[in-house]
């Protein structure tokens, strides 16, 4: 299916599977290691949609579904994907392995849920050996939200519509801060 707005291919074309923000050009892949990560990773999708960036959302685990992971990541660029957001908990290697498979920017979101409350995922995601970078965000929902906004900022350099939407997002956010807490 080609995007109605741009005529560009969307990520759903290759797979025929569900995308979020269907009417928007799909430029970001939001991957998570488990469906149990969705309640946190939804914040990335919401942020992307708020600034007009469509995304393809997948449960893909580097260790439980390695073949699915390899196929998806290696085909993503030809399907119009320009950046990945990868959320995972525990020994979180999803972002690192994704970055190993693609030259596209990879944004890692460490997730809580283990006995170590996300510190394990944070260190696993942020401590990439030199040569294969992963831009790492904070643990959990806030990190996912910021990863969504950061991915939009990456795309905004070549897309004035996204740039405008980001400016509007910030202005609305500022306007929503009350003068007093009561």
Residues that bind ligand RP5 (CB under 6 A): 32-34, 36-37, 61, 88-90, 111, 113
Q: Would you say 84 or 90 has its CB closer to ligand RP5?
A: 90
Provide the minimum distance between the beta carbon of 87 and ligand RP5 in the complex, in angstroms, as a whole number: 7
Provide the minimum distance between the beta carbon of 154 and ligand RP5 in the complex, in angstroms, as a whole number: 23
Provide the minimum distance between the beta carbon of 90 and ligand RP5 in the complex, in angstroms, as a whole number: 4
| 95 closest CA partner among 142, 169, 147 | 147
Q: Would you say 6 or 36 has its CB closer to ligand RP5?
A: 36
What CA–CA distance (Å, rounded) separates 33 from 87?
7
Q: Which residue is nearest to ligand RP5 (CB)?
A: 33
Q: Would you say 12 or 61 has its CB closer to ligand RP5?
A: 61
DSSP 43-68: HHHHHHHHTT-EEEEEE--TTTSHHH
CB hemisphere CA count around 128 (13 angstroms): 21
Provide the minimum distance between the beta carbon of 61 and ligand RP5 in the complex, in angstroms, as a whole number: 5
Please give the structure tokens belonging to residue 79.
């399907």
Query: 94-101 and 119-126 helices cross at what angle (nearest 10)?
Result: 20
């Amino acid at each position: 299916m080609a995007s109605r707005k741009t005529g560009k291919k969307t990520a759903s074309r290759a797979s025929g599977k569900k995308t979020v923000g269907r009417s928007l050009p799909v430029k970001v892949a939001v991957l998570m290691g488990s469906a149990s990560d969705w309640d946190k990773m939804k914040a990335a999708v919401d942020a992307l949609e708020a600034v007009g960036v469509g995304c393809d959302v997948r449960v893909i685990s580097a260790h439980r579904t390695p073949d699915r992971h390899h196929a998806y990541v290696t085909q993503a660029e030809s399907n119009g994907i320009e950046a990945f957001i990868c959320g995972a908990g525990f020994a979180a290697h999803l972002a690192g392995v994704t970055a190993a498979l693609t030259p596209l920017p990879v944004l890692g979101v460490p997730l809580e849920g283990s006995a170590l409350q996300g510190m394990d995922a944070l260190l696993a995601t942020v401590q990439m050996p030199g040569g294969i970078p992963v831009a790492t965000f904070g643990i959990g929902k806030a990190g996912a939200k910021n990863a969504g906004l950061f991915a939009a900022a990456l795309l905004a350099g070549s897309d004035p519509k996204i740039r405008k939407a980001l400016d509007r997002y910030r202005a609305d956010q500022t306007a929503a801060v009350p003068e007093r807490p009561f």
